[in-house]
Amino acid sequence: MAIWSEIGDILSAFASQDSFEIRNALKSNAAWVVGTVATAVSGLLVMWIYKKVPWLDRHLERTIMVYSYLAIALIIFWGVIDRFIFSSQQPWSTTIPPLLFMIMAWFGAAFNVRLRTHLSFAEFRTLMPRSGQMACLTLDAVLWFIFSVIVLVTTTRVTALSASNFQIVLGTDNVMQWWFLITAPMAFVLMAARVFENFFEDLRNFRSGAPLIKQAVIGGDV
């Protein structure tokens, strides 16, 4: 019964929106139960949104990646000019870009799960029987979902810890670190949605007799 009490504490802490309570509540093992359910429900919800809004399905992660990259490039470009021409430097010019790069990487990872460009072993799997191909694709879905749960729970804990300690980005006066860190669990909710998309697509292909293994293309379209 203790697990149910801990789950209730986590839900109550999130309802209060108090970072101290959230941080303390997430220390329990019930965080893994809540995290698993939250990842599954949120992933299915995002998948449903993707179906209703195809533009988001095709462009959401890529748009975030592109604008993050442009922001990094702009900050570094101006930092070089500021330093070597005006003999000055913004103190946050070396701390914001790494955080933006992490955002770009997290959302890029989610999108490339959909494209199946992460160690897909397509050449090897095409030689397998159809049942073996489906088994491998199912294993992919299970492993990626577990990975999403692990990252969502751990990064949510880190985000709550950062918020409760009022950590600011070095070189700034009032830019909070958790504003950037919270994008990690968000990105892995999108990854869970991509995992569900792929798995349901594989099931349809398996039942219809369509090819299961396709050549992955980095930077391709969904």
- Residue 210's pLDDT is what? 83
CA distances to 20, 25, 156 from 7, in Å: 16, 8, 15
Residue range 33-46: mean pLDDT, rounded: 96
Residue 8 covered by a domain: no
**Which of helix, strand or coil describes residue 168?**
strand
152: buried, middle or exposed (CB in 10 Å: 19+, 13-18, 0-12)? buried
Residue 33 covered by a domain: yes
- Residue 89: alpha-carbon gap to chain centroid: 32
- Residue 48's pLDDT is what? 96
Residue 7 covered by a domain: no
Q: Which residue has the higher pLDDT, 116 or 143?
A: 143
Residue 22 covered by a domain: no
Residue 217 covered by a domain: no
Give yes or no for a contact between 60 and 207, defined as CB atoms under 8 angstroms apart.
no
Domain that residue 133 falls in: 29-208
Question: 55-101 pLDDT, tens per residue?
Answer: 999 999 999 999 999 999 999 999 888 888 877 888 888 899 999 99
* CA dist., res. 115 & res. 194, Å (int): 9
Question: 176-190 pLDDT, tens per residue?
Answer: 999 999 999 999 999
Domain count for the chain: 1
Asked if pLDDT for residue 1 goes beyond 70, the answer is no
Determine what percent of the chain is predicted with pLDDT higher than 70: 95
Residue 85 covered by a domain: yes
**Which of helix, strand or coil describes residue 155?**
helix
* Residue in the structure block whose two tokens are 């900050």: 75
Q: Which residue has the higher pLDDT, 1 or 113?
A: 113
Asked if pLDDT for residue 104 goes beyond 80, the answer is yes
